[in-house]
A and B are shown apart, each in its own frame.
Chain A
């Protein structure tokens, strides 16, 4: 498990925003602007977590989440969906596709990194409990 975070996001400004915030708080960030590249980089870098936009061109976030889950070597890597979908049904759909958490856009710069850290610590804790 590494300290790096992979962001899969096609909107340049959103990418810059998340990248900037996370880097300021000490994370190293890997960028991918489409789903295919995201999966490739996930496999290559084994990031500590993946932030996944849902509305991506060609391969959408649901498909990316499902495919990521098919790789056993990524099974411990939490996927946090970041999306402006405001519907509860979409939240359930992305969780069903394999995401562990969900952050809604517009992201709140005051709490965004904290939320990520909270997801990561709950995720790690529940993983450890699983092994106990």
Chain B
């Protein structure tokens, strides 16, 4: 199923990109603007498809983790790079504090990175000024990852709903944030499959702190 859904999108995203790069000829301003909208919408649709496929796989018990050994610090750095353009655009500072004892982890690299990226993306998306910080340290045989922001925060009564599928909260921001409403529920399931936990503490108007606790070793390397 995933192939059938993604192949036509591959083509839409690809050709839009070619046109925007002006590899097929120069664009006028209006064409550029409209193609930019096609690009945004197709990327959003791809994110939705990926998330829906993930959640349905998880719910059907068909998602399996593929553990390998990798540098956690490196993954954190990579994900920061991915959100940096948006953070820079919004003039939000990105900070990273990774303690020295954080070395390698045996886990599903792709999925760990997916969780880190999701939390960083949310933090940047829901912060209008200030900073987003990611930190990592060890605690016994676990790593503790914290993603904190100085954003809009979450109402206490909304926190239980946060990790449920399809619940983007009413953020009070003028525009509903683009997202699938599935990200955090997927993160929670993935982290739980790894034998870890995810939680949040938040103060409305002050910011949020998401805490992920994952075993340094989850599963055998195949």
Q: Which residue of B6, B10, B24 has the most chain A CB atoms within 10 A of its CB atom?
A: B10
Name the contact of B10 in the complex, choosing from A20, A88, A107 (C-beta under 8 A): A107
> A11-19, A39-47, A67-75, A115-123: which lies at the B interface?
A11-19
Cβ contacts A90-132/B at 8 Å (1 or 0 each)? 0010000000000001111110000000000000000000000
Q: Which residues of B contact A107 (CB under 8 A)?
A: 10, 14
Cβ contacts B1-24/A at 8 Å (1 or 0 each)? 011001101110111011001011
Let me know if A84 and B14 touch, CB within 8 A: no
Q: Which residue of B2, B3, B46 has the most chain A CB atoms within 10 A of its CB atom?
A: B3
Let me know if A88 and B110 touch, CB within 8 A: yes
A17 and B109 contact, Cβ closer than 8 Å, known pairs A86-B2, A110-B21: no
A13 and B11 contact, Cβ closer than 8 Å, known pairs A20-B23, A84-B6, A106-B6: yes
Q: Which residues of B contact A20 (CB under 8 A)?
A: 18, 23-24
Cβ contacts A15-35/B at 8 Å (1 or 0 each)? 001001100100000000000
Name the contact of B17 in the complex, choosing from A14, A55, A86, A108 (C-beta under 8 A): A108
The majority secondary structure among interface residues of chain A is: loop
Let me know if B18 and A88 touch, CB within 8 A: no
Size range of the interface on B? Answer: 20 to 34
Size range of the interface on A? Answer: 20 to 34
Chain B contacts with A in 3-57, Cβ cutoff 8 A = 3, 6-7, 9-11, 13-15, 17-18, 21, 23-24, 46, 50
Bound complex: CA A14 to CA B13 (Å) = 11
Bound complex: CA A105 to CA B222 (Å) = 25
Is B66 interfacial (CB-CB < 8 Å)? yes
Bound complex: CA A82 to CA B6 (Å) = 13
Is B108 interfacial (CB-CB < 8 Å)? yes
Q: Can you list 19 pairs linking A and B with CB atoms under 8 Å apart?
A: A11-B7, A11-B11, A13-B14, A14-B11, A17-B18, A20-B23, A24-B23, A84-B3, A84-B6, A85-B2, A88-B108, A88-B109, A89-B64, A105-B6, A106-B10, A106-B46, A109-B14, A109-B17, A109-B18
Contact surface of B with A, Cβ cutoff 8 Å: 2-3, 6-7, 9-11, 13-15, 17-18, 21, 23-24, 46, 50, 64, 66, 68, 108-110, 222
